[in-house]
A and B are shown apart, each in its own frame.
Chain A
Amino acid sequence: MFQAIHDPKLLWLFGGVLFLLVLSNIIGDILKERHRNDPSRPTIDNLNARIRAWWKMCAIFGVSLLIGPVGTLVLFGIISFLALREYMTLVPTRRGDHRTLFWSFFVIMPLQYYLVGIEWYGFFAIMIPVLAFIFVPTSIAIYGDTEHFLERAAKIQFGLMVCAYCLSHAPALLLLKIPGFEGHDARLLLYLVIVDQMSDVLQYVWGKLLGKHKIAWRVSPNKTWEGFAGGAASATALGTALWWATPFTPLQSAGMSFTICILGFAGGLVMSAIKRDIGIKDFGVVIEGHGGILDRIDSLCFAAPIFFHLVRYYFVP
């Protein structure tokens, strides 16, 4: 416990995050003063609400990383639970799905995190895509309601894949044994979260500043090519500059960051399409100014598993 405190590079990363938060707080305050009675006031209030939420999220994440692998695992387990809860609340299910849903929440998802905890990689990698994949439609079929059967099974499978399986790859970074990097895995997780979330924020900022050409206006009116390019480029630059905290060379770090940006974008786009399909704007109202938990982690859900496997393939012998 609390070994992380003895890792100076990890503390530097934390310091950087803290610096960004203070900086954004100052900018938020200045904007608030300048635009007291502007029509842009709601946007600025929303921005400040987001910054306040960032403080809270960073504090929680920081504490859990400092506690060590168990703290991180518990935190991501809770995030998975809340995300799955938001998802299942909004996706239509039927009475016949009840027991399958109970298993999803209380057996399949905790088991996934337990497998990360005991570092059983082989089981961790196949539990949801293979076992839960078979279990979900079977248990719905046993109940006997065949109306929209395929649709219902697919919705539960997708929810488990995104909220439990994909997301669990973020804390699973802690079980990678990279030669010469032992005991510093927390940095890798922090690196992933920083690049991924900064890519989100920077795409939003660049989009607000320069955004013109919409990428998929039917899915998400806020996503523009200018925002995407600017956000991905600046978040990749940031990630490259953080190479010293990772086992990567600067060039490798650039490649990893760029991959995280692309996948983060894909995750956000897919979750927007789902929201559009259901007919809602946000997944929930848990975090002030941020929509729901799922709106915050959609980019991480797609980036985490690919980042995990890239690191595992290239850096773990």
Chain B
Amino acid sequence: MSEHVHPIANILAAIARGISGVQVQWAGCEPSERQRIYFANHTSHLDFVVLWSALPADIRARTRPIAAKDYWEETHLRRYLAENVFKAVLVERGAPAKAKSHDDAKLVSRHLVEDMATALGTRDSLILFPEGTRGTGEKLGEFRSGLYYLALHRPDVELVPAYLENMNRILPKGEFLPVPMLSLLTFGKPIHVESGEEKHGFLERAREAVASLRRIGPT
């Protein structure tokens, strides 16, 4: 991927930062050029842009979001934003679950993981919302398995948990006008898949890593 950032991406990032008044805290690690997968809770359309804009400019140019194909290809505007502006890696949500047989499911998930691994390449980083959809902000949803398979496939990549606070109050699901409250973004300590670790155990641990960064209780 080129280092070139679409000008609209920078404009949207500045707007998102202004609206969300976000304070960024690197609590568990420092910004780094090494390849990473940032995974965070998901409650708002602002989540990705705010997280992306919190990264230093040179790292930002090499960090792409993973987004749901069905949603982001629905309209021309969404498709343009996803493909051209943010250079998103579009994946089919829940494709393995829809597969006809167990073997099919395995095949589909392998393709998915390979797509994401290709997107990572040798220098890029990814932003992933493992809940798969935007929640209400009250409770962190179950994590989908993509994070686990991707981590197995690329053990050299650091998995950095992050928690976005208050985004659900600034721009909740179903609203298109934001309320400019203040928000907080906390990056936690990177995790890895332990040798022999099962999918379920790892996903629970990853979910806990994100949840533990929360500062304010449910409102």
Which of A's residues lie within 8 Å of B, judged by CB?
81, 85-86, 88-89, 92-95, 98-99, 101-102, 105, 284-285
Contact = CB atoms under 8 A, between A and B. Distances in A.
Interface stretch (B31-39, B178-186, B193-201): B178-186
Contacts of A284: 182
A89 B219 contact: no
B169 interface: yes
Contacts, number: 32
Given A95-B172, A98-B175, A88 B181 contact: yes
B181 A98 contact: no
B219 A85 contact: no
A164 to B, nearest CB: 14
A85 B182 contact: yes
Nearest to A104: B179
Instruction: State the main secondary structure of chain B at its contact with A.
Output: loop
B17 to A, nearest CB: 14
A85 B180 contact: yes
A85 B172 contact: no
A282 to B, nearest CB: 13
A125 B136 CA distance: 39
Contacts of B175: 98-99
Given A89-B166, A98-B172, 4 more contacts: A88-B179, A94-B219, A102-B179, A105-B179
Contacts of A92: 219
B11 interface: no
11 contacts: A81-B180, A85-B180, A85-B182, A88-B179, A89-B181, A89-B182, A98-B175, A99-B175, A101-B179, A102-B177, A102-B178
- The list of the 4 closest CB pairs from A to B, nearest first, reads A101-B179, A89-B182, A89-B181, A92-B219
Instruction: State the main secondary structure of chain A at its contact with B.
Output: helix
Contacts of B21: 85
Contacts of B166: 89
Nearest to A98: B175
Q: Which of A88, A94, A95 has the most CB of B within 10 A?
A: A95
B178 A86 contact: no
A30 to B, nearest CB: 34
Contacts of A86: 182
Interface of B: 21, 23, 136, 166, 168-169, 172, 175, 177-182, 219
A81 B179 CA distance: 12
A98 B136 contact: no
Contacts of B181: 85, 88-89
A284 B183 CA distance: 11
Contacts of B136: 95
Nearest to A92: B219
Given A85-B21, A89-B166, A92-B219, A105 B172 contact: no
B180 A99 contact: no
A93 B216 CA distance: 14
A89 B215 CA distance: 14
A95 B169 CA distance: 7
A99 B177 contact: yes
B219 A93 contact: yes
A92 B180 CA distance: 14
A234 to B, nearest CB: 36
A285 B177 CA distance: 26
Contacts of B23: 285
Contacts of A81: 180
A81 B23 CA distance: 18
A93 B219 CA distance: 7
Contact of B180 (A93, A95, A105, A285): A105
A239 to B, nearest CB: 35
Nearest to A91: B219
Nearest to B166: A89
Q: Which of B168, B175, B182 has the most CB of A within 10 A?
A: B182
A90 B180 CA distance: 13
A105 B169 CA distance: 14
A135 B23 CA distance: 32
Contacts of A105: 179-180
A284 B166 CA distance: 15
Contacts of A93: 169, 219
A98 B175 CA distance: 8
Nearest to B173: A95
A276 to B, nearest CB: 17
A105 B179 CA distance: 7
Contacts of B178: 102
A94 B218 CA distance: 11
A15 to B, nearest CB: 36
Contacts of A99: 175, 177
A88 B178 CA distance: 13
Contacts of B172: 95, 98
B117 to A, nearest CB: 38
A22 to B, nearest CB: 33
B179 A98 contact: yes
